Amino acid sequence: MPGTISYTEALREALDEELGRDERTFFMGEDVGAFGGIFGEAAGLQQKYGKERVFDTPISETFIVGGGVGAAITGLRPIVELQFADFVSVAMDEIYNKAAKWRYMHGGLFKVPLVIIAPEGAMGGAGPEHSQCPEALFWSAAGLYVLTPATPADAKGLLKSAIRDDNPVLFLPHKALGNTTGEVPEGEHLVPLGEAVVRRQGGDVTLVAWSAMVLKALEAADRLAEEGIEVEVIDPRGIRPFDFETVLRSVEKTGRVVLAHEAPLPGGPGSEVAAVIAERAIASLEAPVRRVGAPDVPVPQSAHLERFVVPQTEDIVNAVREVAGSAVTV
């Protein structure tokens, strides 16, 4: 029987279960110890597993990830946390060059079973350095997995699978989803990495949405159904590995596609997906590909202005209407 829990509770359950299952795992980061994590995701874990397995670090993102890489290649299975995903830029060399590439650079002499948790996204005016969605920066990070859970079930199942995987994983929960709730299967719950999920079936328009935009996409699909437009909503659950086959099958069925993400349009996750659709499914398209994303500006400090930058349900509704009513011209 599934139980209903919050997104944050799902993350905490995943950490708790994996720390309890495998003594090689440990969790380190800023304030993950006695404080229990900046968003409460590690509450009670240091008390349960001790200060040698759940502990605080200095404010040094380079050390946090670099130390995790070092522990991973010597046989441990570290879970490390950056308080905000924006800080991946501070630790970029350790993530992009070391964690992602070292297994290949050293001829497979060792594995890098490292999970880097880094909450992303805008949530009430945290400003341009604490609100970004940087997943698309890692489209070219060969060797690295990048996950963006949208539901409590995926938050738990993807995190547990990531901790057990031998590849380095950048795990990007969305801060604004922390209090959302949903059903999570009881008992052992794992979600395969690199498999998209069709959240809603539809035959008129394919709508691919990432992270918090998945909930807005489903809300938009409900509204559009009242107008007679049936939208197929696909959650790719991340960008690496990316399940292009599920997206392409849907595009071949509908002939129309909208890509929705919170990151800016230039260089956002939709750019690569649009390129692959153009390469592999352009003959199926009945209308130009449409993207919904933030404008090409930093996220404002003002919570009021932030709402005008972060894409809303109405933006998705308008984009789908536009695509549904247009056609490719030659």
DSSP string over 238-255:
EEES--HHHHHHHHHHHS
Query: Is residue 241 reached through a cis peptide bond, with omega within 30 degrees of 0 on the bond before it?
Result: yes
Instruction: Please check whether residue 233 is in contact with residue 199, taking contact to mean a CB–CB distance below 8 angstroms.
Output: yes
DSSP string over 52-83:
TTEEE--S-HHHHHHHHHHHHHTT-EEEEE-S
CA distance 23 to 56: 18
Q: What does the angle CA 322 – CA 326 – CA 330 come to, to the nearest 5 degrees?
A: 140
CA distance 273 to 247: 9
Classify residue 188 as exposed, middle or buried by CB count within 10 Å of its CB (0-12, 13-18, 19+). exposed
CA distance 4 to 267: 36
CB atoms within 10 A of CB 130: 20
Instruction: Please check whether residue 131 is in contact with residue 172, taking contact to mean a CB–CB distance below 8 angstroms.
Output: no
Set 130, 174, 189, 261: catalytic member:
130
CB atoms within 10 A of CB 140: 11
Amino acid at 36: G
The reply to whether 130 belongs to the active site is yes
Sheet containing 54-56, strands listed edge to edge, beginning at the edge strand earlier in sequence: 54-56, 25-29, 77-81, 115-117, 169-171, 145-147, 238-240
Q: Which residues are catalytic?
A: 130
